[in-house]
Structure 1
């Protein structure tokens, strides 16, 4: 692939990042109640009464902290400060530690459950904010949350992490992350975002206990989560790692391919790096099975009955751009770079909202937008597509060094 193609792609990623962050700056800031609105519709109208979720607020903090680190724009840092202040003032549980799952529109406690997925995103965001600001409060909170996860969620017998707890860190009957998930003790999704968070924290706090946890998480993926024959991720498990699902999630496959390799690199272990580079390629190849005729990534497939969920959600496309680019960097196989560019071309043509900005939540099989879903909300955040732009900018620049 010639240099001009990469230069053009870099320019596109830079422009897209600016467009995305401008949208979030312009439409999501809640001037009345503080922080950011909990929900924005596809007409860019805020629901001022919507609850505010931990995942959304942590991902906003991560994204604007990361954007400031990359581009040093004061406006990005201001929004990172705003997100940090809101997260620490309204989501942090000063009585029991960790972070609430949600607050109401005015910032009062709504759901105090300790979902480990959410705790992981708080760590991920606090570590990134610390990189941008060197604020010791952010690092101390990230460390404290890591210790709470290890104390309450880590399964010392069978390894891995349990899903959820009450506000007081007691066992809870319904451990589901969302209504669409199965109520199982362990999930791929939580483990993926715990290792993502721990890797980011390890970059600023090279603690031996943290290092051991990352190493163990990588082993969990190798031994239990990544299927040994077809290299798709297995999604739900009981205490003993017995698989409880037959679904394939193509977006998670391609996302995990580069995140796990990133974790292996953080540990600076050559054997582990080689192993996870190979797995990254195998998982990227497995993800290709989910591509539609125009190069976009379908949502899910059930291996038990052959049923496809032929929806094209925003986040798998963002992760595919990074994951296929990573596979190209590892292998030199040009088709992976072509897949990255094809996904981006698809996003431009179909997933970007040409009138109101940002990306639609997703598309139906006929490529019509899923207009009933949020433009911003409990799950629709700037993290996947914003991070994809930043990650690709950094990777392209690294090829020039």
Structure 2
């Protein structure tokens, strides 16, 4: 076995071991609500409960992760049961009478807050589609598709979703465009429908046409209605982690299309640019925000190191190596992995810290809140294990690096 394949094999084993022995047990023991259903995510460092408020985002995210782990890592009945328990909670408590989903509910499912975003819907949909694959119950795939089509109706019908800004402000954001790529591709694994492929094509076209700005070598978070550059703090914002996540979403689609060359080029360009913007050459890690004109970013957390940009970068660099066989992406994977695994895992209580200062010291030690929970870390481990396994089994080799 070459040194490169040994490197990939070692990481594959690490991802699987950490998922099975650390991440999943932490959340199944401390987060899963076996009384009311669903999952708690507001957990202290030791797993104790800080707040019983339930993030609806994370009901779908956790249900998805449990089913995805079941489908990819091992047929653990505890994971399948947890996925179903959480989906049952979603269906019983997380939808309003208008078909929209809440953003927060109480431990028993009473509504607390509803937001204009449809991200709760996207994660519920991928949970249902992944559970359909795991359980063999095609009814959940049909529910996922129906939810997806309702999302498109909400997005494309003026007046149904509350705008973020006043009517005089005309612009579009990267978040919704990119999440629909992954949502559609995950649902497509369980059920086929023309609307899924159509949305993937539309989203990737929009990213290329509107959000990629070569003059800055950047993918911007906010642009005008036709992709115009907006010279404001908001319009100049680069979110490297988000861009890198988009890169691997596009690489995944390229792979689905037998490694479509143009998509691979688009994705690796986004990855290369975003790495250059995000990688902290002094302290390591991917930073939160940059200004495309190198002006001071407006967000106060701009130089912090959050958990999720690191995990997305681990996936993206492995995917880029699989797609191109270019050893530079394994070197990038080594850099991000060395930083991430030396700073984020909590060796005393398990799981990972989520928020680091720019210098890599822990900002706060809670394991979860309404935005951090069992999603980015376990998804990274599952997806990265899958990619590593594919690389090894396809006998890809490259010059010896280590």
TM-score, normalising length: structure 2: 0.86
Aligned residues: 377
Alignment partner for residue 78 of structure 1, among 75, 81, 86? 81
Alignment partner for residue 14 of structure 1, among 13, 16, 36? 16
Relative contact order: is structure 1 or structure 2 higher (C-alpha 8 Å, sep ≥ 6)? 2
The 1-side partners of 2:348 and 2:226 are apart by 49
- How has the CA–CA distance of structure 1 residues 109 and 243 changed in structure 2, closer, same or farther, with 3 Å as cutoff? farther
- How has the CA–CA distance of structure 1 residues 363 and 197 changed in structure 2, closer, same or farther, with 3 Å as cutoff? same
Q: How does 1:81-100 map to 2 (within 5 A)?
A: 81-93=84-96, 95-100=97-102
> Does structure 1 residue 235 correspond to structure 2 residue 238?
no
Maintained 8 Å contact 2:220/2:236: yes
The 1-side partners of 2:163 and 2:238 are apart by 26
2:47: which partner in 1?
A: 44
- Give how far 1:66 is off: 0.3
1:262: which partner in 2?
A: 252
Find the residue that maps to 2:286 and give its secondary structure: coil
1:218: which partner in 2?
A: 204
1:323: which partner in 2?
A: 316
CA deviations on 1:301-354 (whole Å, 9 max, x unpaired) are 112453362211100110111111122222222221122122222222111112
Structure 2: segments with no counterpart, 5+ residues: 395-402
- Give how far 1:63 is off: 0.6
1:297: which partner in 2?
A: 286
Alignment partner for residue 173 of structure 2, among 184, 187, 192? 187
The 2-side partners of 1:382 and 1:339 are apart by 25
> Does structure 1 residue 109 correspond to structure 2 residue 96?
no
RMSD over aligned CA atoms reads 2.4
The 2-side partners of 1:232 and 1:47 are apart by 39
- How has the CA–CA distance of structure 1 residues 20 and 101 changed in structure 2, closer, same or farther, with 3 Å as cutoff? same
The 1-side partners of 2:170 and 2:107 are apart by 30
1:275: which partner in 2?
A: 262
2:375: which partner in 1?
A: 383
- Give how far 1:240 is off: 4.4
> Does structure 1 residue 360 correspond to structure 2 residue 363?
no
- How has the CA–CA distance of structure 1 residues 184 and 23 changed in structure 2, closer, same or farther, with 3 Å as cutoff? farther
Moved more, 313-322 or 298-307: 298-307
Moved more, 71-80 or 208-217: 208-217
Alignment partner for residue 26 of structure 1, among 29, 51, 74? 29
TM-score, normalising length: structure 1: 0.87
Find the residue that maps to 1:115 and give its secondary structure: coil
Maintained 8 Å contact 1:48/1:105: no
The 1-side partners of 2:171 and 2:349 are apart by 40
The 2-side partners of 1:265 and 1:87 are apart by 32
- How has the CA–CA distance of structure 1 residues 262 and 283 changed in structure 2, closer, same or farther, with 3 Å as cutoff? same
The 2-side partners of 1:92 and 1:136 are apart by 21
CA deviations on 1:18-39 (whole Å, 9 max, x unpaired) are 2111111111122444322241
- Give how far 1:105 is off: 2.5
CA deviations on 1:250-299 (whole Å, 9 max, x unpaired) are 11121111101223444x387xx211100121112112212124642111
1:197: which partner in 2?
A: 183
- Give how far 1:227 is off: 2.0
1:144: which partner in 2?
A: 146
The 1-side partners of 2:55 and 2:224 are apart by 27
The 2-side partners of 1:123 and 1:261 are apart by 21
- How has the CA–CA distance of structure 1 residues 103 and 322 changed in structure 2, closer, same or farther, with 3 Å as cutoff? same
2:160: which partner in 1?
A: 170
Find the residue that maps to 1:307 and give its secondary structure: coil
